[in-house]
């Protein structure tokens, strides 16, 4: 089925460990996004990539890095995980055409940092 | 900071009743969207309304936009137990076209 695929679905890290969250979309979308969702705070934008080869910071980029590997894939890296990064992470994509139709989201990665 | 604020935070109704959720925002926007999130799942896009539209329908969903009051509402008619979910409004960040900021959501529970 067409959509946005995130891996892994669950992850437990120790403080200081690193990991990369993977995201791939097969809808030929130009733009991709990483959000985190914390209880009572809605979603906050971490980083985004408006098109292949570009990345920009969102609201809460500290402690994260991203790579737009190609048009399909956009990864999020935690270099040294902290308990404050315990959250659910969502990847999304959208077309960059003249008409904006909204985002397609992945099913999320639930990350716990202990 | 988030631009959208949703009201109420939680809403519980009986099956068959209508559910109304509201979203207020701070600065001018060119579109506003509503998303649904079932427990433990990703968000699903429901409907997008542009700043030159006042009302839009999609099945049992009705969205209104009042740019003078900087507010929007989502009405779900004849609610079903399957409508139980969190509902979020979203709009572009100030100065952005496609990067969205989300409200904190309304948790809707539809009782059978």
Give the pLDDT of chain A (114 residues) as one tens digit per residue: 679 999 999 999 999 999 999 999 999 999 999 999 998 778 999 999 999 999 999 999 999 999 998 999 999 999 999 999 999 999 999 987 767 788 999 999 999 999
CB distance from A106 to chain B under 8 Å? yes
Query: Which residues in chain B touch residue A35, judged by CB atoms under 8 angstroms apart?
Result: 102
Q: Which of A102, A107, A109, A110 to mutate to test the interface with B (most CBs of B within 10 A)?
A: A102
Binary contact (A107, B41; C-beta < 8 A): yes
CB distance from B50 to chain A under 8 Å? no
Give the integer Cα–Cα distance in Å for A92 and A114: 27
Residue A65, strand partner residues: A77
With CA atoms as reference, the chain B residue closest to A42 would be: B104
Coil, strand, or helix at residue B91?
Answer: strand
The count of CB pairs under 8 A between chains A and B is: 57
Task: Give pairs for A46-53: CB < 8 Å, separation 24+.
Answer: A46/A76, A46/A89, A47/A76, A48/B99, A49/A74, A50/A96, A50/B98, A51/A96
Closest by Cα among A58, A69, A71 to A30: A71
The DSSP 8-state label assigned to residue A104 in this structure reads: E
Q: State residue B2's pLDDT score.
A: 53
Query: Which residues in chain B touch residue A102, judged by CB atoms under 8 angstroms apart?
Result: 33, 35, 45, 48
């Amino acid at each position: 089925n067409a959509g946005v695929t995130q891996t892994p679905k669950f992850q437990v890290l120790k403080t200081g460990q690193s990991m990369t969250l993977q995201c791939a979309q097969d809808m030929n979308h130009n733009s991709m996004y990483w959000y985190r969702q914390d209880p009572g705070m809605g979603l906050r934008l971490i980083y985004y990539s408006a098109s292949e080869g570009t990345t920009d910071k969102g609201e809460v980029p500290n402690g994260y890095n991203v790579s737009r590997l190609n048009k399909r894939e956009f990864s999020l890296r935690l270099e040294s995980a902290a308990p404050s990064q315990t959250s659910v992470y969502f990847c999304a994509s959208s077309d960059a055409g003249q008409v904006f139709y909204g985002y397609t989201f992945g099913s999320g990665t639930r990350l716990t940092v202990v | 900071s988030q631009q959208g604020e949703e009201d109420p935070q939680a809403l519980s109704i009986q099956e068959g009743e209508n559910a109304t959720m509201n979203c207020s925002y701070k600065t001018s926007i060119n579109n506003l969207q509503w998303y649904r999130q079932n427990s433990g799942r990703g968000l699903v896009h429901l409907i997008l309304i542009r700043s030159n539209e006042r009302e839009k329908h999609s099945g049992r969903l009705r969205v209104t936009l009042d740019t003078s009051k900087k507010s929007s509402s989502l009405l779900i008619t004849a609610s079903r137990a399957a409508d139980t979910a969190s509902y979020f409004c979203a709009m572009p960040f100030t100065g952005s076209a496609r990067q969205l900021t989300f409200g904190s959501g309304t948790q809707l529970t539809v009782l059978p």
